[in-house]
Amino acid sequence: MAVEKVAVYAGTFDPITFGHLDVIERASKVFDKIVVAVTTNPSKKPLFSLEERVRLVRECAKEKPFVEVDSFRGLLVDYLRKRKARIILRGMREISDFEREFQHASMNRKLCKEADTFFVMTSEKYYYISSSLVREIASLGGSVGCFVPEAVEKALRKKLAKK
């Protein structure tokens, strides 16, 4: 019996974008299951709560049977151990991502020698998209439908209308 190949794609996903979904879809050609692990980051102040982000990721991935959505707080390597996983999936958009991602991969490997990081380059049609730019455009009244799924665009409009 073959062992299922699982990768953990951790992030804040505030909100999830077509770039994130592209990384998931492309990684599914290598891995049997992608666990999208929504987390908190002490250096970020998210627009959406953890629960709202999990709900949005689930909504956007509902047609992808190879995706499992979960959440965690704390160190990614601790989450990997808890899940008995060893592959961290990371998307890279541009060369400036490399330094930060290389540092994170190295630190994760130091904290957990079994952890390996698998990098996927985002498709060129999405490389310029970031969650922070999507939030900024939406907060200024711009349309973000070409950057995020419809459910996310609706959630952004609703959330920003309350502010």
> Residue ranges of the domains in the chain?
6-127
What six digits make up the tokens of 113? 């020698």
Asked if the bond preceding 15 is cis, omega within 30° of 0, the reply is: yes
Q: Whose CA is closest to 131, among 25, 73, 60?
A: 60
Written as one letter, the residue type at 5 is K
Which residues, in sequence order, are bridge partners of residue 7?
34
Rg (CA), the chain: 16
- The catalytic site residues sit at 20, 44, 93, 131
Report pLDDT for 99: 86
Please report the pLDDT score of residue 162 as a whole number. 78
Q: What pLDDT does residue 1 have?
A: 65
pLDDT at 138: 96
Residue stretches of the chain with pLDDT short of 50: none
In terms of CATH architecture, what is 6-127? 3-Layer(aba) Sandwich (3.40)
- Tell me the whole-structure pTM to 2 decimals: 0.94
